[in-house]
Chains A and B, each alone.
Chain A
């Protein structure tokens, strides 16, 4: 089955800095890569996703890049704000099953 590794487990930045979270996956059949944000005590919510036919996708201050050859994908957050503080999960799934396998999460702390 799929295995998703996520790094770092904790990331502390100053407000206004950029943050990068990296994930690798093992199953070359995976073709859908969502990112979820989970605030403390809340439900995970999708913030951005990318498919394997696209190398990069951007939505305002967040962007995701995908390298299919190396089987890794990354989340980039620019101009971080305190409200970006949360746990971020990457995931990978094969298009036929759409059952995402999640990474262990990255706790992002943005200091004002």
Chain B
């Protein structure tokens, strides 16, 4: 089992460009979470998705940010018109959400730098 795969690992964008971050969950996992991590801060929840559905996007800014988890393919976090404040590590996690465990399995993260 390859684990949660995120790409790209590092992404550099200029202000105003778009950033697309991809996440392939662990095999058999149908629940995906995106978190943002800034230096000296914890993991801030952004969005929780199941296949083809956004379940909870309460942590995601209403403007410029969107997420999807299509029936086929990886989950994508999209940031339009990036600004310097978007520079952060973005972690994706997946889970099975069985009754016995709430464990999240994290990817290695995608580190976005906005110049």
Chain A contacts to B: CB under 8 angstroms: 1, 4, 6, 9, 32, 34, 36, 42-46, 49, 89, 93, 95, 97-105
**Please, how many angstroms separate the alpha-carbon atoms of A39 and B44 in the complex?**
18
Set of chain B residues within 8 Å of A6, measured between Cβ atoms: 42
Partner of B43 from A42, A89, A95, A97 at Cβ < 8 Å: A89
Give A105 to B37 CA distance when docked, in angstroms: 11
Contact A102 B43 (CB under 8 A): yes
B65 within 8 A of A: no
Whether A34 pairs with B102 at a CB distance below 8 angstroms is yes
Q: Is the Cβ of B41 less than 8 Å from the Cβ of A32?
A: no
Q: B residues engaging A (CB < 8 A)?
A: 4, 33, 35, 40-45, 48, 56, 58, 91, 95, 97, 102-104, 106-109
A32 touches B42 (CB 8 A): no
With a cutoff of 8 Å between Cβ atoms, the chain B residues found around residue A98 in the complex are 95, 97, 102
* A32 proximity list for chain B (CB < 8 A): 102
Q: What 3 pairs across the A-B complex have the smallest Cβ distances?
A: A43-B106, A102-B42, A104-B42
Contacting pair A101 B108 (CB below 8 A): no
Chain A residues with CB under 8 A of B56: 97, 99
